[in-house]
Structure 1
Amino acid sequence: MSSTTGETVTNGLDPLGSIEMDLETFTPGSGRLEPRAALRSDAPALDLNGTWRFRLSPTANVPDDFARPGYDDSGWAGLPVPSHWNLHGHGAPAYTNVSYPIPVDPPHVPDDNPTGDYRRVFDLPEGWTGGRLRFEGAESFARVWLNGHELGFSTGSRLPVEYDAGPHLRPGRNVLAARVHQWSAATYLEDQDMWWLPGIFRDVTLTRSTADVFVRASYHDGRGTLSFELNAAGPGTLSVPELGIDALEPGTEVTADVEPWTAETPRLYDAVVTCQEETLRLRVGFRTISIEDGVLLANGRPLLLKGVNRHEFHPERGRAVTYESMREDVLLMKRHNVNAVRTSHYPPHPDFLDLCDELGLWVIDECDLETHGFGQVAWRGNPTDDPRYADALLDRMRRTVERDKNHPSIIIWSLGNEAGVGRNLAVMADWARERDPSRPLHYEGDRSCAHTDVYSLMYAPHAEVEAIGRREEEPLDDPGLDARRRRMPFLLCEYAHAMGNGPGGLAEYQELFERYPRLAGGFVWEWIDHGLAHPEHKYAYGGDYGEPVHDSNFVVDGLLFPDRTPSPGLIDLKKVFEPVGFEFGDGVVQVVNGYDFTDLSHLRFVAIVQVEGETVAEHRLDVPTAGGECKLPDLDGGRGGERWLTVRAELAADQPWAAAGHEVAWGQALLTHALPRDRDVTVPFACGGGGPAAGELTAGELGGAELVAGEPAGGELAGGELTVGGCAFDAVTGWLVRLFGVPVEGPRLDLWRAPTDNDRYGGLDGRWRALGLHRLTHRVDEVTLDDGLTVRARVAPAATDLGMVATYRWTFDGGLRLVLDIEPDGEWRDPIPRLGVTMSLPGAAVDEVTWFGLGPGEAYPDTGLAARVGRWSATVEQMQTPYVYPQENGHRAEVRWAELGGIRVSGEPTFGLTARRWSTGELAAARHRPDLVPGDRLHLHLDLAHQGIGTASCGPGTLPAYDLLARRATLRLRFDRA
């Protein structure tokens, strides 16, 4: 049957023999009406969401007598619509990234095919005639009956379908029935790196609206051009009262002075389409998207996309997202300087696009297509190149474009994602170009770009992106296609995989985007962690439901945690995407306007002076609206100490997406360094008793050998300990055991960190474990006592001749100073995870940590771009970053000093700080947040350096500049009473 026919199948119930045949048909549907735009109409409508009666069967071969109006469903469960049945106790979710959870054997599906039967009884209002049943989304194959009459079936899970309900509606009581199969031939088109979640998960409506409208609104040099197409019962006209446009007829064109629509200035005009039987209301945005000399333009100006990829997700509801969640997503994007979204990898709920129109986001709208799992069988049988699937792929493209064609926010249509190459892409592209030539086409999976208008890649390393920006990329074999591609703008449809701790390298990508006009920007993968709420694990990922095939925590790779709390990655991204830059000079600051379309008149600028992290002055700055040089006020005077200037760009007035005072951008400059601190005279360590002025305690002399020492000078040897100023060292090993009366373990040299997702998936973790860095041994070779205490040790893993020679030099001058010299022993080839010391102390004594350095959040060599110098305080619990899959986190960088539990630790000049209530080993062994149980010790890491983070969980590893190679190094720390 044709996928575009408007007629229904024969009334009555299908024989059971046709069920399997329909599930394995290449036909995308039957009995459906022509696709049309999502519109707001005053035509009567019934909301059929709510609690439906539901029954789940393990196979598809179940009698369909439940569709009869008189069927007794009293024994069935209730299930909310929209929802996914396996999030309501009917079966379990499953996650795969690439692999199909069924055999790759299109169009066939397994006998085990969870099948959900739905029934909904509703009363028809008096006088109601005609109407359409509209299902916005059902996964993956849905057959529909009304009052026992089959209306048809449809595939294309994330696309709407409408059936003519009029002939079968009855006055009063009506029974709507639906059967949804999880697996069908259409499943092979929906392998989209997400939870497999079947069910009716979007809205169901009975509507008497029948009209379709396509508004075309372009912009050029202050003038807007407007026309529209109308498909309705009878004539109709369009009016835009604000522009004085009244009763415009279909097919005619009018121009007017208008304000353009952009993501920065989302100007919308209310339009009314008056038809014979209904009135439609639309919001029209005037804008023109074009490509000139390989540069993507909006309204004639270069467009830089600062984007994210967004799956629909909620930790309790899956893809059955509410309007409130959608709005929260858009508000969070706007507040973090995101200006674009790619709807990976399917059209979103139409309300989301309305919000993008209203609040301002550029959108790449992606068709509901991905066949990634065929790559695991060398793309044999790939539907993208199978002519039997041509109608289904074209059907999905048609339904995408027709539903969403009136949204000014949509600037590019995407044919799909990771679906290989094949003849069906041409079928989709040719139709889309003919239907809507105003928008370019995107598809990443074909490097030849034969059917697209933009050149797109995923996870290209920085060097390749720069080569493309220079138009120096590797040529295609076909000279014609190569020349065509070089005339295209380039974008990274996915980059900077935001999985766990990270991503690194964001600033370096953005610098390239801004340097080369051909680079239109990119979309970070992805917006939110897909962790499902779980009673034991807090949030579940692949494998937590016993799936035989899964991709573990690869579904937890977002800039938001599942509860929509921003991760450090999103905070960094906001900084990288800032639309205002600051360049500091002598007494001036150059304010750079980075907006594509607007000036700075909506912002106010504040200069704040802080000394040692405490604010001592605040000034308003008079910044030109176009940007430019601004003279700074007198910043001298005041007390001494490290002095910093911070300039903030804030919203001057409330915006629809944030309140006045919201920080849009900031910059920071060091005004003066701290003065050198006064030092007390060094107090030499002593062991008591007579003898030479200086002595030595070696490993060979321990245990009853004579102790050679000088005169007491503030320290003494008693009970096997060397004490000085309330601090004590083990006389045999030289290790610190008490710090100003507090029992401690360490500090000892440490090279290990709990692997990040990027470490694990990128292979560094395996190399580190093979080297044995997670099981270091410590051997004290020499303990020397002179003006201080010197401990020489070798730190090395078993089964290798590599090691580190660590020389700890302790002195006391009222505070305890440590100078740790580190020298590699052997040929170290791989980067190491960290270089620093670890120590622990009683946890009960420490609740809050205060520090002066970068904050308030975590920072690593290639992350922490949003961290600024200041004085910060946080509880130990707040210092942990709650990644769904536990890993290295919470490192505060460039710390000058930190106070905790009555102890002050200072760097000379700085150090990295991590404070936890569990050890690195416990953190590395944890698989979910609840696995981390606070112990009775506080574990401190005082670091000199860390390996970078990168984005190797999917994409390039750490840039060479952020590799931590074994080298000679010195860590200097000081411990005082707080």
Structure 2
Amino acid sequence: MQTPSEDAPLPYYEAPSPGEGALPARAWYADSDAARLSLNGSWSFRLAPTAAGTGEEFTREEAELSGWGEVTVPGHWVLQGHGAPAYTNVNYPFPLDPPRVPDENPTGDYRRVFDLPADWPAEGECLLRFEGVESCARVWLNGVELGNFQGSRLAHEFAVGGVLRREGNVLAVRVHQWSAGSYLEDQDMWWLPGIFREVSLWHRPPGAPADFFVHAGYDHVAGLGRLRVECDVPGRVLVPELGIELATGQEAAVPVEPWSAECPRLYEGELVTEGERLRLRIGFRSVGVEDGVFKANGRRVLFRGVNRHEFHPATGRAVDLETMRRDIVLMKQHNINAVRTSHYPPHPAFLDLCDELGLWVIDECDLETHGFTEVEWRRNPVDDARWTPALLDRAARMVERDKNHPSVVVWSLGNECGAGAGLSAMAQWIRERDPSRAVHYENDRDYPDSDFYSRMYAPHEEVELIGRREEEPLPDPRLDAHRRTLPFLLVEYAHAMGNGPGGLADYQRLFETYERCQGGFVWEWIDHGLPKRTPEGRDYYAYGGDFGEELHDGNFVCDGLLFPDRTPSPGLIEYKKVIEPVRLSGDPATGTLTVTNNHDFATTAHLAYAWAHHTDGALQATGTFDVPPLGPGESTTLTLKELTAPDTPGEHVWTLRALLAADTPWAAEGHEIAWTQLVATAEAGPAPTPAPAAPSRAAGVVRLGPAVFDAGTGALTTLGGLRLSQAPRLDVWRAPTDNDLGASWQQDTRFGVLWRELGLHRMHHRVDEVSVDESGLTVRARVAPAATDLALRTRYRWSATDGELRLHVTVTPEGDWRVPLPRLGLRLALPGAYGLASWYGGGPGEAYPDTAAASRLGRWELPVDRMQTPYVRPQENGARADVRWAELRDARGGGLRIAADSAPFWFTARRWTTEQLDAAEHTWELTPGEEVWVNIDHAQHGIGSQSCGPGPLPQYRLAAAPAEFSVVFTGLAGA
């Protein structure tokens, strides 16, 4: 066997070129009168472990297919029983030796036999079109090789009229998992090879256009839309609603309603040529950077965005149209107005839906070389001239395919590729081809090719400096001056991994304060968990490492605002509240209400308004109120008699809501857009002070009012008829969240790691004194981790009346505490029968100090089992904020009531201990036990988004400092 010389030609799948044989890129469109044939469905399939493992006989008509199986196209073979998926974030799962790939290169052979429909036209050309194949494909039709291509998330077409026949067409495709193109596709996602988008045959009649470009700008001063359609063949452009009929290449200027994400006005049109009549959906808008601000139609845009990978838990990146629409509907319903297509162009139908329903889109090229950071960017393809043709091909295929979408307002060169001349070549080509849109790139901090100063995960204080244009200067004065002219965009922020992200409201205040700060895109839209089942039949979602990968990045692939089944997470509920496009605020002392319209373009004429008044959580009255329509940025202040606080004793809460006044394509009438709550308290007159109960000792116990304590330890054992499984005692531990654990490059502030190193997960409790006096019971204790002299001196002071038991806790830290505490409060346990929770406080979902904007004050009731948030990797969850009282009852209504005696508390209840939650790596590992474990917390540490971004702001950190808090326990009698 001879070893090829280093000068030998590389096989096509290792060539750093875009491929051979494919036609130039062109615009995609959904509808025309030309024939199309879908080739989706069941294909014959076999998998070989190497690129050279099988011959090419399968391309012939008479090929032997014994031993072959079947797969569905679109789809990924690793999700259909052939091999396994693998997840890495940064590292390539193969040696870095560009453009070479390993011999271990899973290669799938696909084969489909098809006939043309009886009415398929005889004249004209036919194009075989692939919307997406990962990562390299070689194509034959009827034994004739058509070519090969790389560029997984990009469309490729081949002219096949000369080899197509009426019946028995044999389409054969060889797909390699690894190719030179894989070096350009290191995009923090599952590696999922296969034909994962549609395959189709397009008839091109004589005289049909090969390509066209719709130019539809908007002059916001004159209110005119300017329409010109370039086409490679002569034709006519018809827009009946506007009375437009003009030749291709000509321009018309007419009054129009402009397109925006808030008001996605589309005009139906047609492009008519000799051979084809195709549908146009035209949105008139102009976008670009003016005076250091990104504007659309003359107005500043504030992006309230998300990063979106294409993902479905069953089919991977093969996402159907219904799921795409569902995603956009969910985005719109949660006040999201923008999406970055991280990190590749999406399925083109997704952009059609963005045009229709209204989203600003940053369309990102299929490009990322992040793994070269592991070798200090040596041999980075974007700075290697051999790869420039492939980079330009990828840029062209994105721009040409997507250029006619009004929703696409920014082209992005790619993600996390470092710097290099190849990126500059891409930017130059894009600007020459489409000067009407801005160009974005984040990873070169000099920004030679970007119209934005773009950052990922910049902390709040840096964002504020940038907003004030006082950021740290670049060493080069020329480059620094250029960067200071650019609008600022957080292209990724608020890492939505596990419990979180925290700090959203603090970011939004900066975006709304500083014109230069034009918002950002939360990372990311959905958890990429793949379904698995245990041998015992328990379903769960798997992540990196669950499929035997050699290298993996664990649950870092689960960092979305949706759970894998597309259920909104608490993070999405929080984000919706934070980015409300209408702000409501008021003062019940005066009955005034201020309404501010934060839309960029829309008035508030589409909204209706409602109010509800509760006292101590009990509904008193409801109604509606009128607000005059407000233009973008306008405010008004009203006086509403319904908001005036009554003299009735109690806590009065008014919930004010802005709702859709009529159905829209993405939500029904009555859908809530924004809300606020106003609170006023009317004090009752002095109530009789019940006589305190005196304690008594007998037979090793202390009796105090309704309670019984162990005389030796001071532990509460019984309250009324309820026997506690564990007495209340100080607790500071929580199962670290992904954000607590932080990122590897943030060693000094990874508090979840530091907590465990300190031993806060294994605190020791020592009772130093139990004393009884005439008015109560006092327990003095020391709570401390092993191997250190740090401690929390704790005093429990119990007092009672005949019906209530009061606990006052004093905590005094000892030693030099250099880390905050996870939580500070009490933990107790009840028998498992007490599994129905009700409370008056924040809800209905979880909240933490920096994720509490969406927490509404009210009365709530849930089974304990439904109070859990099912994060793909289990972690701290389920706390309810600002709780005035909470009850845990059994089926007969008996149980325990816990009321705040000084300040509201955080309330958590679950059927497993914090230690069990901490130990679990997947949801199936959490098995309900025989107790209900309850946390009553005086304070909680914030969440932040340090799994990739900044940790909690200082005001949300729980410092180890002297603290006091009080609660009142009451036993509840059942039926």
TM range (shorter): over 0.9
User: TM-score, normalized by length of structure 2?
Assistant: 0.94
1:383-410 C-alpha deviation (Å, 9 max, x unpaired)? 0101000000000000000000000000
Match of 1:154 in 2: 149
Contact 1:893 1:911 in 2 (8 A): yes
2:757 is matched with: 770
Partner of 1:354, secondary structure, is helix
Q: Distance in 1 between matches of 2:970 and 2:695?
A: 20
Q: Deviations over 1:147-199 (max 9, x none)?
A: 11110011000000000111110121111110000000110000000000000
What SS is found at the alignment partner of 1:131? strand
CA-to-aligned-CA distance 1:708-762 (integer Å, 9 cap, x gap): xxxxxxxxx3332222344211010001111222221120101110000011124
* Superposition pairs of residues 377-526 of structure 1, within 5 angstroms: 377-526=375-524
Partner of 1:108: 100
The aligned counterpart of 1:37 is: 27
Q: 1:60 aligns with which of 51, 62, 72?
A: 51
Partner of 1:958: 952
Q: Equivalent of 2:905, from 906, 911, 926?
A: 911
| Equivalent residue runs for 1:741-752 within 5 Å | 741-744=721-724, 745-752=726-733
Q: CA 1:674 to 1:860, structure 2 compared with 1: closer, same or farther past 3 Å?
A: farther
Range moving further from structure 2, 331-340 or 719-728: 719-728
User: Matches of 2:455 and 2:164 in 1, distance apart?
Assistant: 50
- How far has the Cα of 1:673 moved from its partner? 4.7
Count residues with an aligned counterpart. 929
2:261 match: secondary structure: coil
- Residue 575 of structure 2 aligns with which residue? 573
Aligned to 2:737: 756
Q: State the partner residue of 1:724.
A: 704
Which of the residues 526, 532, 538 maps onto 1:528?
526
Structure 1, unaligned runs of 5 or more: 1-16, 688-716
Equivalent of residue 632 in structure 1, options 626, 630, 640 = 640
In the alignment, which residue of structure 1 is the partner of 2:198? 203
- How do 1:348-363 residues align onto structure 2 when only pairs under 5 Å count? 348-363=346-361
CA contact (8 A) 2:843 2:856 kept: yes
Separation in 1 of the partners of 2:14 and 2:905?
62
SS at 1:332's partner residue?
Answer: helix
Deviation string 1:505-549 (CA, Å, 9 cap, x unpaired) is: 101111111111111110000000000111136101000001010
1:207–1:589 Cα change, 3 Å: same
Instruction: Tell me how far 1:636 sits from its aligned partner.
Output: 4.5
8 Å Cα contact 1:643/1:674 also seen in 2: no
* Contact kept in structure 2, 1:116 and 1:179, CA below 8 Å: yes
Indicate conservation of the 8 Å contact 2:134/2:152, yes or no.
yes
Name the residue aligned to 1:942: 936
Distance between the aligned counterparts of 2:648 and 2:509, measured in 1? 38
Letter paired with 1:57: A
Q: Is the 8 A contact 1:495 1:522 kept in 2?
A: yes
Equivalent position of 1:781 in the other structure: 768
Residue 678 of structure 2 corresponds to 669
User: What amino acid does structure 1 have at the position aligned with 2:568?
Assistant: P
Higher mean C-alpha displacement, 585-594 vs 187-196: 585-594
Distance (Å, rounded) in 2 between the aligned partners of 1:238 and 1:594: 37
How far apart are 1:677 and its partner, in Å? 8.0
- 1:711 is aligned to none
Partner Cα separation in structure 2 for residue 865 and residue 143 of structure 1:
53
CA distance in 2, matches of 1:776, 1:386: 56
- Paired with 2:398 and 2:888, the residues of 1 have a C-alpha distance of 57
Kindly provide the CA deviation profile for residues 806-826 of structure 1, in whole angstroms up to 9, marking residues without a partner as x: 100111112000000111111
- After superposition, give the CA deviation of every residue in 1:847-888 in whole Å (9 maximum; x if it has no partner): 321100011111111012101111111111110011000000
Partner of 1:186: 181
Q: Contact between 1:727 and 1:741, CA under 8 Å: does it hold in 2?
A: no
Q: Given that residues 903 and 976 in structure 1 are in contact (C-alpha distance below 8 angstroms), is that contact kept between their aligned partners in structure 2?
A: yes
- 2:970 maps to 976
Structure 2 counterpart of 1:601: 605
Give the equivalent residue in structure 1 for 2:550.
Answer: 548
Deviation at 1:19, TM superposition (A): 10
Deviation at 1:74, TM superposition (A): 4.4
Partner of 1:802: 790
Question: Is 1:933 equivalent to 2:935 in the alignment?
Answer: no
Match of 1:816 among 795, 805, 830: 805
Which residue identity lines up with residue 620 of structure 2 in the other structure? V
- Structure 1 Cα separation of the partners of residues 909 and 439 of structure 2: 49
Q: What code does the residue aligned with 2:832 have?
A: G
CA distance in 2, matches of 1:104, 1:894: 53
The equivalent of 1:712 in structure 2 is none
CA contact (8 A) 2:704 2:799 kept: no
Alpha-carbon distance in 1 for matches of 2:150, 2:225: 39
On the 8 A contact 1:216/1:226 being kept in 2, the answer is yes
1:82 aligns with 2:74: yes
Check if 1:240 corresponds to 2:235.
Answer: no
Q: How far apart, in 2, do the equivalents of 1:467 and 1:202 lie?
A: 44
**Native 8 Å contact 2:130 2:156 kept in 1:** yes
Cα-to-partner distance string for 1:796-845 (whole Å, 9 max, x where unaligned): 1111101011100111112000000111111111111010010001012x
Amino acid at match of 2:67: G
Offset of residue 76 of structure 1: 1.2
Q: 18, 25, 30: which is aligned to 2:15? A: 25
Within 1, Cα distance between the matches of 2:704 and 2:184?
A: 72
Q: Secondary structure at the match of 1:878?
A: helix
Q: CA deviation at 1:899?
A: 1.2
5 Å-filtered alignment, 1:767-916, equals 767-786=754-773, 787-813=775-801, 814-844=803-833, 846-901=834-889, 902-908=895-901, 909-916=903-910
Give the Å deviation of 1:676.
7.3
CA contact (8 A) 2:695 2:777 kept: no
Give the one of 657, 660, 669 matched to 2:666: 657
1:737 aligns with 2:730: no
The change in CA–CA distance for 1:677 and 1:206 in structure 2 (over 3 A counts) is: farther
Query: Any idea what the Cα deviations from partners look like across 1:469-527, whole Å, max 9, x if unmatched?
Result: 11111222222222122111110000000000001110111111111111111000000
Letter in 1 for 2:571: G
The corresponding residue for 1:613 is 617
Aligned counterpart, 1:231: 232
Whether the 8 Å contact between 1:685 and 1:785 is mirrored in structure 2 is: no
> Aligned partner of 1:723: which letter?
R
Contact 1:621 1:630 in 2 (8 A): no
Decide whether the 8 Å contact of 1:588 with 1:632 is kept in 2.
yes
- SS of 1:348's equivalent in the other structure is coil
Provide the C-alpha distance between the structure 2 equivalents of 1:203 and 1:20, rounded to a whole number of angstroms. Answer: 29
Give me the whole-angstrom Cα distance separating, in 1, the residues matched to 2:520 and 2:435: 23
Contact residue 52 and residue 119 of structure 1 kept, 8 A: yes
Task: Return the letter of the residue paired with 2:700.
Answer: G
Amino acid of the structure 2 residue aligned with 1:841: L
Measure the CA separation in 2 of the matches of 1:880 and 1:223.
54
RMSD over aligned CA atoms reads 1.4
Of the candidates 309, 314, 317, which is equivalent to residue 315 of structure 2? 317
State how far apart, in whole Å, the 1-side matches of 2:685 and 2:946 are: 42
Q: 2:656 aligns with which of 647, 652, 674?
A: 647
> Percent of counterpart pairs with the same letter?
58
Question: CA distance change for structure 1 residues 777 and 329 in 2, over 3 Å: closer, same or farther?
Answer: same
Relative distance call for 1:452 and 1:783 in structure 2 (3 A) is same
**Cα distance in 1 for residues equivalent to 2:171 and 2:203:** 16
For the 8 Å contact 1:834–1:943, the answer to whether it is kept is yes
Q: Which moves more between the two structures, 759-768 or 373-382?
A: 759-768
Q: Tell me: CA distance 1:791–1:350, structure 2 relative to 1, closer, same or farther (3 Å).
A: same
Contact 2:693 2:705 in 1 (8 A): no
